[in-house]
């Protein structure tokens, strides 16, 4: 678990840092008739090759928009993007659409949540992989087809030379997701973003897919961003965790820290909502009260304060001042007004025993 956890920014604005992926103060805002939707509002993180970052948060916390933003897939006509995204020394926010397009699929690829709706129903699985391969590699159809069969085999599809000509609807859910992964990895991308890759799948299949992603990551040595609301998935796969709330990062930690020494009341809430099979059933879950905030009218001060059971401990600071993300321990950042000691105390006395 040691090594390349993000440290303080070493590079200034406009310069490439050493990190493979370096997202700096990323903001993605959507002006609408009702007001400005701040889906992502100042997100900063780094990621190295071979490492996996889990981004967790509730629906609407901005995690999917972040991933689409990195790939340049957000709707450009109705959004404002600022900040910097450096991928292997190239800046993406200011790059032309065509440049970003060339990187998509080749240097960075994505796996989506619903593999059925994410594959074109009218083309065979093989064709879709071939297309993905040939757009970045100048090879003949035969070569691409061989590659596609090869990829299908590598993601564990039996008889890939036959299944290559099947249509998506002829695959089972797990197979489809494997095929999606094969497609995403067909050009050997250095960055793989998986957006809730297992949500739509059976529990038994979930584990297989996660294993597959982990195995392939090791094989390809890619950087992986795992976007999910399921902390179990993160625990299984990730090196680090980035907890998002209302478009911002509220806690950043290694998986070990995040599960054993979480520093933010929201993270506690997430942990509390996670069903555990190794505990007695008499203890009920502790869901977070209230509902996620509107991204148009983000609560003042700490965006989490209306739902935070400890907000009143801060003498009104919660309502007025936005807490900065500060490094509380090496490699562990959190954005909370509560004094560090108080947080450790609450965790140890109130939260941890109930989990």
Work out how close the CB of 55 gets to another protein at its nearest, in angstroms, rounded to a whole number: 17
Q: Which helix (H) or strand (E) holds 251?
A: strand 248-254
Confirm or reject binding of residue 132 to another protein (CB under 8 A).
Answer: yes
Q: State the burial class of residue 193 (Cβ atoms within 10 Å of its Cβ: 0-12, 13-18, 19+).
A: buried
Confirm or reject binding of residue 85 to another protein (CB under 8 A).
Answer: no
Query: Among 38, 106, 333, 337, which residue sits at the site for another protein (rule: CB under 8 A)?
Result: 106
Which of 3-11, 39-47, 52-60, 96-104 is the region at the interface with another protein (rule: CB under 8 A)?
A: 96-104
Confirm or reject binding of residue 214 to another protein (CB under 8 A).
Answer: no
Distance between CA atoms of 212 and 148, rounded to whole angstroms?
A: 17
In the three-class reduction of DSSP (H, G, I as helix; E, B as strand; rest coil), residue 89 is classed as coil
| Count of other CB atoms within 10 angstroms of residue 10 | 11
Query: CB of 328 within 8 A of CB of 337?
Result: no
Query: Among 10, 82, 117, 172, which residue sits at the site for another protein (rule: CB under 8 A)?
Result: 117
- Cβ nearer to another protein, comparing 136 with 352: 136
Query: Among 104, 176, 178, 337, which residue sits at the site for another protein (rule: CB under 8 A)?
Result: 104
Cα 198 versus chain centre, distance: 13
Count of chain residues binding another protein (CB under 8 A): 28
- Cβ nearer to another protein, comparing 120 with 141: 120
Distance between CA atoms of 292 and 288, rounded to whole angstroms?
A: 10
Query: Among 119, 155, 270, 271, which residue sits at the site for another protein (rule: CB under 8 A)?
Result: 119
* H runs (alpha helix) in the chain: 63-71, 97-103, 125-134, 141-154, 160-163, 173-184, 203-220, 231-237, 255-260, 265-272, 317-320, 340-346
Confirm or reject binding of residue 71 to another protein (CB under 8 A).
Answer: yes
Confirm or reject binding of residue 198 to another protein (CB under 8 A).
Answer: no
Give residues in contact with another protein (CB under 8 A).
71, 73, 101-106, 109-110, 112, 114, 117-122, 124, 131-132, 135-136, 167, 169, 180, 183-184
């Amino acid at each position: 678990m040691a090594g390349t956890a993000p440290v303080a920014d070493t590079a200034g604005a406009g310069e490439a840092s050493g990190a493979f992926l370096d997202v700096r103060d990323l903001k993605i805002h959507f002006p609408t008739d009702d007001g400005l939707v701040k889906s992502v509002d100042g997100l900063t993180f780094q990621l190295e090759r071979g490492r996996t970052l889990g981004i967790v948060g509730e629906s609407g916390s901005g995690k999917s928009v972040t991933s689409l933003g990195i790939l340049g897939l957000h709707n450009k006509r109705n959004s404002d993007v600022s900040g910097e995204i450096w991928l292997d020394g190239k800046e993406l926010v200011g790059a032309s659409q065509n440049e970003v397009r060339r990187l998509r699929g080749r240097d960075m690829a994505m796996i989506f949540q619903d593999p059925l709706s994410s594959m074109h129903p009218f083309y065979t699985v093989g064709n879709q992989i071939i297309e993905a391969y040939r757009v970045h590699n100048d090879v003949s159809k035969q070569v691409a087809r061989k590659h596609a069969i090869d990829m299908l085999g590598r993601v564990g599809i039996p008889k890939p030379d036959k299944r290559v000509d099947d249509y998506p609807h002829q695959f089972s859910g797990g197979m489809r997701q494997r095929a999606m992964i094969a497609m995403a990895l067909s050009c050997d991308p250095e960055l793989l973003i998986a957006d809730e890759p297992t949500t739509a799948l059976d529990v038994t299949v979930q584990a297989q897919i996660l294993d597959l992603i982990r195995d392939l990551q090791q094989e390809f040595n890619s950087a992986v961003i795992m976007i999910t609301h399921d902390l179990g998935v993160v625990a299984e796969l990730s090196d680090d965790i980035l907890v998002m709330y209302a478009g911002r990062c509220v806690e950043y930690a290694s998986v070990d820290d995040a599960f054993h020494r979480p520093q933010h009341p929201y993270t506690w809430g997430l942990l509390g909502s996670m069903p555990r099979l190794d505990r007695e059933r008499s203890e009920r879950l502790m869901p977070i009260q209230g509902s996620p905030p509107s991204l148009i009218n983000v609560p003042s001060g700490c965006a989490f304060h209306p739902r935070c059971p400890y907000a009143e401990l801060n003498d009104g600071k919660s309502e007025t001042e936005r807490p900065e993300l500060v490094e509380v321990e090496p490699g562990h950042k959190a954005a909370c007004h509560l004094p560090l000691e108080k947080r450790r105390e609450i965790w140890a006395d109130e939260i941890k025993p109930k989990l």
